[in-house]
Amino acid sequence: MKNILIMSCSVLALTAATAHAGNFNQSELQQISPLSGSGNNAVISQSGDLNIAGSDGALGANYSGKLRQNGDMNDINVDQDGHEMVRDVRQVGNFSKLDVNQTGNYAPASTTPSGFVPNHRVWNVKQKSAASSTGVASGDANDLDIDQIGEQNVVASVYQNNTMTAHSSATKNVAVIRQDGKWNGANRGSVPPGPAAPHGARLVQDGHSNDTNVNQAGERNNFRLVSKGNSNIIDLDQTGNENYTRSTLKGDANVATYIQSGDSNDILSTLNSGSNFQLKMGQWGNSNSVDFAGAGSNGNIYMEQRGATNSVTANSSGVDQHIAIKQEGDGNSVDIAGLNGPAINKFYVLQDTNDNTVTVGTVDGSYNRLEFIQTGAHNNTVDWGDVNGSNNKLFFTQDGEGNLIEGRVGKISAGKTGNSNRMQISQLGNLNTTYANVDGNNNTIQVQQGGDSNMVDVSQNGNGNSANVMQGAAPLPAIHTGAAPFSQSF
C-alpha cells in the first residue's frame, strides 16, 4: 500500500498534485492552518482497483487518511479509474469546490445485500460555510460535482451548509450528481430500499438559494434528498426501471422537479412546511407510483403520469394549496387519504381512458374546491368519503359507460353538519350511476345524465337544501369542467 500525505499551512495559493497507478493506493490531504488557508488547489489521480482518496475506517488504522481544506476558494479534484472510493472529505469555508470523476466498470461479485460491494463510492462529504478571513462573504457558493460511470455506484451522506440569510444566486451552493449504470444508490434487491440499507444515497442541503441537479441512468437506482432553506432549486431525472426517489423539503419559495422515465419507479415526496413553493413530479411508463404528504401554504403541487397501472397516493394538510393530478392510460388510480387543510385548497384530478379510480377519504375545511374529470372511456369510479365544512364546491364529470360516482357532503361529526356546500355532477353515456348523500342546510346538488339506463340516488338531510336531477338523451346544460387550478407542464 502506498500512503501519500500532503499538508499545507499557508494563506497563499498552493497547488498539490498526486498520481497513483496500481491497486490499494491511498491519498491523504490536509490544507489547514490557524489562519484558514485560502486559494488552495488539490488534484488526486488514481487508476487501478481499491484505491482510496480519504479514509475508510472499516479497513483499519492504515486507512485513516482524510481530505481536509479550511478557508475560502479551495478546490479538490479527484479522478479515479477502477474500483475506488472518496471518503471523509471536509471543506470549511466559502467558494470551495469538490470535483469527483469515477470511471471504470468493476463487475459486481454479488447484488444481494449480504454480498454487496459498491463499485464507486463518494461517502461522508461535508461542505460548510464559515467566517471568512479573506473578505469573502460568509456562507457563499460552495460547489459539488460528482460523475460516476459503472454499476453499483454510491453517493451517501453528502452535506452542504449555507448560513446566508439573504437569497441570492451569488451565494448559493450547487450540487450536480450524475450516475450512469445499474444499482446506483445502491438499490439492490427491492424498490425502495429498506430504512437500514447501508448504501442508500443521501444529499442534504441546509441554507438558502441552493441548486441541486441529479441525473441517474440505469436500473434500480435510488436517491434521497433533504433540502432545508428558502429559494432552493432542485432537478432530479432518473431514466430506467425500478428507480426510487425520496425527498424532504422545508422552506419558502422552493422549486423542485422530479422526472422518472421507465417502469416500476417510485417517488416519495414530503413537504414539511413552507409557502410559495412549486413541486412537480412526472413519471413516463407503467406501474409507477407517487406518494405525497404535504403541509405548507400558498403552494402548487403537480403530478403527471403517462402509462398504465400507475398510482398516486396523497395526504395534504396545507392552506391555500393547489394540487393537480393528471393520468393518461388504463387502470390508473388516485388515492387521497385526506385533504385536511383548514381552507381555500384546490384539488384537481384528470384521468383519461378506462378502468381508472379516484378514492378520497376525508376533506376538512371550508371554501375548498374539488374537481374530478374522467373522460373518453368506461368503468371509471370516483368514491369520496366525507366532505366536511361549509362553502365547499365539488365538480364531477364522467364521459363513457359503466361509470360510478359515490360520496357524502356536509357530514362533520355526530350532531354537526356543514352548510352552503355545492355539488355538481355530469355523466355522459350509458349505464352510469350516482349515489350522493347531503347533510346540513342550504346545500345544493345538481346531477345531469345523458344516455340510457343511468341511475341516480340522492339523499338530503337538513333544511333549505335543493336537488336538481336531469336524465335523458336530450342536450344537457353546460357542465363546469374548468381548467386545472394552475397551469403546469413538463
| Cell numbers found for residue 323 | 394540487
**Distance (Å, rounded) from C-alpha 264 to C-alpha 285?**
8
**Distance (Å, rounded) from C-alpha 28 to C-alpha 44?**
9
CA 216 to chain centre: 14
Asked if residues 330 and 307 have their Cβ atoms less than 8 Å apart, the reply is no
Predicted local confidence at residue 267, as pLDDT: 95
**How many CA atoms are closer than 13 Å to the CA of 43, on its beta-carbon side?**
5
Has residue 388 got a pLDDT over 70? yes
- Which band of pLDDT confidence, cut at 50, 70 and 90, is reported for residue 391? confident
Share of residues in the chain with pLDDT > 70 (%): 68
Has residue 2 got a pLDDT over 50? no
Asked if residues 383 and 363 have their Cβ atoms less than 8 Å apart, the reply is no
Predicted local confidence at residue 338, as pLDDT: 78
**Distance (Å, rounded) from C-alpha 81 to C-alpha 201?**
21
Q: State how beta strands 121-128 and 97-103 pair.
A: unpaired
**Distance (Å, rounded) from C-alpha 394 to C-alpha 382?**
12
Asked if residues 225 and 236 have their Cβ atoms less than 8 Å apart, the reply is yes
**Distance (Å, rounded) from C-alpha 362 to C-alpha 314?**
12
**Residue scoring higher pLDDT (431 or 224):** 431
Q: What is the pLDDT of residues 168-182, one digit of tens each?
A: 555 677 888 888 877
Reported pTM: 0.82
User: Which residue in 261, 205, 260 sits closest to 233, CA to CA?
Assistant: 205
Domain definitions of the chain by residue range? 1-274, 296-490
The beta strand positions in 104-232, using DSSP E, are 121-128, 143-149, 154-161, 174-180, 202-206, 211-217, 222-228
Q: Please give the average per-residue pLDDT across 425-430, as a whole number.
A: 91
Predicted local confidence at residue 114, as pLDDT: 45
Predicted local confidence at residue 359, as pLDDT: 93
**Residue scoring higher pLDDT (361 or 427):** 427
User: Which residue in 356, 286, 295, 292 sits closest to 324, CA to CA?
Assistant: 292
Three-class SS state of 115:
helix
Predicted local confidence at residue 469, as pLDDT: 92
CA 117 to chain centre: 27
- Quote the mean pLDDT of the chain: 75
Q: Please give the average per-residue pLDDT across 118-124, as a whole number.
A: 66
- Which band of pLDDT confidence, cut at 50, 70 and 90, is reported for residue 484? low
